[in-house]
Chains A and B, each alone.
Chain A
Amino acid sequence: MNIKIDNISFRYNKHELILKDLSIAFSKGQIWGILGHNGAGKTTLARLILGLLPPCSGNISFDFEKSISYLPESNGIYEKLTCYENLVFRGEIFGLNTVASKKRADHLLEELNIVNKKWERAAFLSHGMKKRLGLGCALMNPGNLIILDEPTNGLDPESLEIVRNIISSFKGTDTIILIICHDLETVQQVCNNIVILQNGEKIYISAMDGDNKESIKDIYLKVVKGHEEYAD
């Protein structure tokens, strides 16, 4: 089960290129951290993989039938609906019937520790709770490709722990997980591969296995700084 990205480039209309000739291969069981400054092209890469945007050149191929779980940066939840309604609706449009959807929603509410907020409208939730609900909505569809855009942005320690545990539980499963993240500590804890983008280009890619003892923060700062100096 692989995703192969071959020399893709992308630009919105006649604006400058957001992704330049990018090639990466993702395999099952891996959790990838996609890092980079704001505007580096991380979210655009996610949208291309999701099939929401067509690449200007290059190709993205999947050797499996993809089923996607996606958490967008602003959580992708309906503010006027309750937590439960959000979860059930997400399940229904991703192919679960109403009974299965309700069952899974109840299970995820417990797993994310937001059972007491079940009937509360999403608009009234705290930032951390909204993030948890967004993750719950994403996981309503038990997909084989999970893309999480800033899943830990601005979370309190309790929410952070819950989110990290849930992501880690996918390690070694038949799933490809891509995490777009600025939170290097989370990436250090849960990811086993990282790719760093800058100005639409891949400037670093590596597995974070036992041999690699360097912290992601050090790698990130060294690589990004080194690339900026080289560019100057």
Chain B
Amino acid sequence: MTHRVASVQDLEALRDSIRADRDPNKTVLAICAGSGCLAYGCLNLVAAFRDEVSKRGLDDKVEVRATGCPGFCERGALLTVFPQGIFYQRVKIEDVPEIISETVLGGKIIERLLYVDPNTGERYVNEDDVPFYARQHRLLLGNNNKIDPTSIDDYLAIGGYRALARALFDMTPEAIIAEVKRSGLRGRGGGGFPTGVKWESTRKAHGDVKYVICNCDEGDPGAYMDRSLMEGNPHAVLEGMLIGAYAIGSDRGYIYVRNEYPMAVENVGTAIRQAEEYGLLGESILGSSFGFRVQVSRGGGAFVCGESTALMASLEGKVGEPRAKYIHTSERGLNNLPSNLNNVETWANVPLIILNGADWYSQIGTDGSKGTKIFSLVGKVNNTGLVEIPMGMPLREIVYDIGGGIPQGKAFKAVQTGGPSGGVIPESLLDLPVDFDELTRVGSMMGSGGMIVTDENTCMVDLAKYFVSFLQEESCGKCLPCREGLKRMYQILNDITSGRGTEGDIELLERLGSTLQDSSLCALGSTAANPVMTTIRYFRDEYEAHIKEQRCPAGVCKELITYYIIDDKCPGCGLCVDPCPTNAITFVAKKKPVILDQDLCIKCGTCYDVCNLGAVGVK
């Protein structure tokens, strides 16, 4: 049955009826069905729970809900049992009957499935107490496992579209813009431009037709926060866009989602259909004179299309290439008309600001960066996943307290923030409060929120080479410094990591980097040198070791390293003999060290990886 909601009273009546149908004490088994847990096979888990619940005739008492991603991807598949908030991790299909019998029916905790802090040995029952979550401030992600993203009723039940009602009936467009400005919200897509100021200039721009656009073309390797919001809570993004459109004076919009995110495409499509059916999208929304329509446009997989002008070119059906922004897109954007583009996370913040007020929002964060930011915490860190923190949290707290430190007791080396064109931040700056301005000050950037942790086994020159290799392929190729400059940077870095580096290479890289920063057409080019510039700035000695001593201190660059057997430690077990692809290792006798023939060794590192005793060295 379709309810068309024609007024605020209708909306509240609908919300009340949805809530009345729900028993707050009913057990809800919330299983993460985000992209990470999908890879763990969570859909089978959802099906198994549903079967088990039906089989035992518990359909009235237990709801099995496939939700969005709450963030702790390292420990998937994730299950939260509401209303208690019991958190089970690494749940397998075999655990299903026991969870129903013991926890759901018996009220008992299954110790085995609880999270145990590997550092302290402490067990945690409640999701909110798990250190990974406890230090976060999950304004946005916190809702992900409270709702089924394909159900608008779930979103309404947690207060959805109330901010829209307030915006339409209790606020003027100018008041909304003033509120967003006062909140201090800055664009989460990378630039950090004040959102309210952007809205204001689009509102003031001449023209009857204006667009609002949502950028969900998240192309950074290892970053997936926008994906998880779009997959897990698409109505929050829609509600933010609706409020923005009303404030700006726009009646049409686009959501640009990369096609590599099939579930985001599907869920936002479902959300749009549902909102249209309820009358929350379309003409005279909630009985007001405001109307808004939004279309989904799928991106074709070009990293550069995350750049606003390239994205708009792509929306127009042209090749996604940036153009100069001397005339802002707020004046001439999509189809040469005033356009306001914000990223997914920015839009999702808007309903919270309207509902709770700018004063509440601006209490969170630092002087220049308000609110929370979601980061993809990945790489050499124990707890990989999505973390949402208040702006200003020291990097050390993110890596150690939330991230649980570096695996296998290895030493921390650096964090690379801001995606492929962000910079690396060394250990000496671990106490840096993470916000827009501080990250920029040390040569990195917020970007869209990638955070890649590296340990002692990561070579900084090799890391810079990886990002430059990515960027030279993803550069659109339009402007000379980005296209030719990145190509040359890659050649030089490749030479250095192959032992062919020469005196002057570092200075040439710096000169190329400064030209890219200064003279590129768009932000992809002007930031592309960050990985190189910051690794030189903080790890110059590592570059010099490669060039002057033909040595890779991290033991990564093949041409510069030698594997050797540490005779004292090798008991001659022979475990490394068979895996060696070139038969370079010879078994001598038990209790005698094996022999590694350097002439045959291709430095694949297999022996190093298989040896449990640390008897293979690398220098």
Mutual binders A and B: no
